[in-house]
Amino acid sequence: MNIAALIDWPIEAIDDAGLALWTSEAIVRATSGTANAHFQVSGVEIDSRDVLPGDLFFALKGEAMDGHSFVETAFERGAAAAIVDRPIRGPHILVKDTFTALQQLAKAARTRSHARIVGVTGSVGKTGVKEAIFAALDRGSNGQAHRSVKSYNNHVGVPLSLARMPERAKFGVFEMGMNHAGEIASLATQVCPHVAVITTIAPAHIENLGSEEAIADAKAEIFLGLEPGGTAVIPADSPHYWRLRAAAEKQGAKVVSFGTAAHANVRLLDAVQAPGGGSLVTADLGDRRLCYTVAAPGDHWVANSLGVIAAVRAAGGDLGAAGLALAEMEGLKGRGARHTINAAGGTALLIDESYNANPASMRATLAQLGATKATRRIAVLGAMKELGDFAPKFHAALIEPIAAAKVDYLVLIGDEMAALADELGKSAGSDLGFAAPFAHCRTPAEALEVLAQFGLEQGDAVLVKGSNSVGLGAVVAALVEGKE
């Protein structure tokens, strides 16, 4: 490269950004706290068990525990400093309230950032979609994308994820969840996304909200935080499409829809099963067609991929990188990860969907099980929580997708599954004609005993799915470790 070209090299705003995540001076400015030393930090953490060398530890107060009791542990693990509400030994910043300080640092991170921000919410699939959008933007920006890890999507996880965002990041992807109306509005006004994505609307948390319409309104609160001129990405096939669109347009957002509907801006033209699993997808983006592979199996991931493509394009990302990311992205732990496990005569397939469950995701994953080639199909299903008075109806209705999936053996866990057990008990004489053997257990430990008695064989496919509080992660762990 010649000297003239070097002189004309474009200068970007992030070129002046510091290399450290935070300096003590910047934290003091953000929190109005008092520092007892000069320091720099490379990360932010609230759990002393997860502290890495160079982290800033926030001593948050919870209902059961006070983070100040773990400050010494944080320093032993290599914390560079701590945010506290009382003087301690070691580098620290003294503030009035540590949680307020975390929110203030999150606000400072968002204010200083030049990144394009994507916010993701929805009843089903938001963590997987968030991860896919991040993978696409990170690949396209050579590692300069940031996202909320795991399911850090609540009133603590969102500000923590914002506080962790490097000043030099070119993209940020944040997940937002809720149990009650008003919660996403609070999170969205912290994240202030340029692109707001709603994956789908389903009766998750209907116990607290009362109806799907109320759930749609609660999810649509994400549009309240949109930056001026921002884009709303919404599911075109949802029965609540027009409700979501109206909420987005009320905030002045540009609306981009995705799905199979004729009016979808990112519209599915074709999807066929890929040779190694997953799907080969062709989508119409209006001005072009895009062909790509989705590694994750299931029709729900075909739909998710359309939302990912729409979000990446709206954020100014690379569509080629998005296609490659979708082709390489495997199932997440508790959300579709696939394991080969020991079984009599060889091995069996374990599909880990143990992290969460609601009526829509149950149907989607049972359909996925039904499409999986297997000698026998076994479903270990835990109760779906937060359905309130609707619980018996939604649990009993699972008999239809179970029958459609041609499940050979069922293990049900939790009191809420009694309604489904009753349906199964009388299903032999019904139009469904479904009479597969089943067991109804109280605990995951009992479910493991029942599975051991049933006996897994070579070629079996085992789906494990339920709400996280049921504890089916223990079933997955035991099967993966070969303790079934």
Q: Domain of 39: which CATH number?
A: 3.40.1390.10
Whole-number average pLDDT of the chain: 92
Does pLDDT of 442 surpass 70?
yes
The reply to whether 224 and 117 lie within a common domain is: yes
Considering the domain boundaries, does residue 105 fall inside one? no
pLDDT digits 0-9 by tens, 38-50: 999 999 999 999 9
Q: What is the mean pLDDT of residues 149-175?
A: 95
Report if residue 2 sits inside a domain.
no
Instruction: Check whether 143 has a pLDDT greater than 50.
Output: yes
User: Looking at the 3D structure of the chain, how many domains does it have?
Assistant: 3
Q: Find the range with the poorest average confidence among 242-251, 423-432, 440-449, 466-475.
A: 423-432
Residues 132 and 87 both lie in one domain:
no
Neighbours of 382 (CB within 10 A): 27
Assigned domain for 7 exists? no
Q: 81-107 pLDDT, tens per residue?
A: 999 999 999 999 999 999 999 999 999
Residues 32 and 124 in one domain: no
Q: Rounded mean pLDDT of 257-262?
A: 98
What pTM does this model have?
0.85
- Model confidence at 16, pLDDT cuts 50, 70, 90, reads low
Listed in sequence order, the residues at least 6 apart from 99 whose beta carbon sits closer than 8 Å to its beta carbon are 60, 61, 156
pLDDT 10s digits, 325-337: 999 988 778 888 8
Tell me the pLDDT band of 341, cut-offs 50, 70 and 90.
Answer: very high
441: domain CATH number? 3.90.190.20
Enclosing H/E stretch for 346: strand 346-353
Mean pLDDT across the stretch 403-412? 95
For residue 5, is it within any domain?
no
Confidence at 484, pLDDT banded by 50, 70, 90: very low
211, 214, 216, 217: CA torsion to nearest 10: 170
Indicate whether 284 and 301 sit together in one domain.
Answer: yes
Final residue in a domain of this structure, among 328, 347, 381: 328
Residues 468 and 349 reside in one and the same domain: yes
- 123 in the same domain as 161: yes
For residue 218, the domain's CATH number is 3.40.1190.10
Same domain, 244 and 319: yes
Residue 10 lies in a domain: no
Q: Do residues 468 and 355 lie in contact, with contact meaning Cβ atoms separated by under 8 Å? A: yes
Statement: residue 429 has pLDDT above 70: no
pLDDT at 28: 98
In a domain, 108, yes or no: no
Specify whether 320 is located in the same domain as 197: yes
Res 17: pLDDT: 58
Asked if 231 and 256 count as a contact pair (C-beta separation under 8 A), the reply is: yes
> Which has the closest alpha carbon to 187: 199, 177, 202?
177
Residue 54 pLDDT more than 70?
A: yes
Considering the domain architecture, whether residues 464 and 346 belong to the same structural domain is answered as yes
Q: pLDDT, tens digit, for every residue of 302-313? A: 999 999 999 999
Domain boundary among 56, 75, 98: 98
Verify that 302 and 406 share a domain, yes or no: no
Residues 411 and 476 in one domain: yes
- Over residues 177-213, the pLDDT tens digits come to 998 899 999 999 999 999 999 999 988 767 778 899 9
For residue 236, the 8-state DSSP code is: T
2 pLDDT exceeds 90?
no
| CA–CA separation, 430 and 452 (whole Å) | 30
Residues 365 and 454 in one domain: yes
For residue 54, give its domain range. 18-98
Within-domain flag for 60: yes
Q: Show which of 293, 328, 363 is a domain's final residue.
A: 328
Rounded Cα distance, 268 and 289, in Å = 10
C-alpha distances (whole Å) from 254 to each of 226, 246, 250, 264, 315 are 10, 11, 10, 14, 12
For residue 149, being part of any structural domain is answered with yes
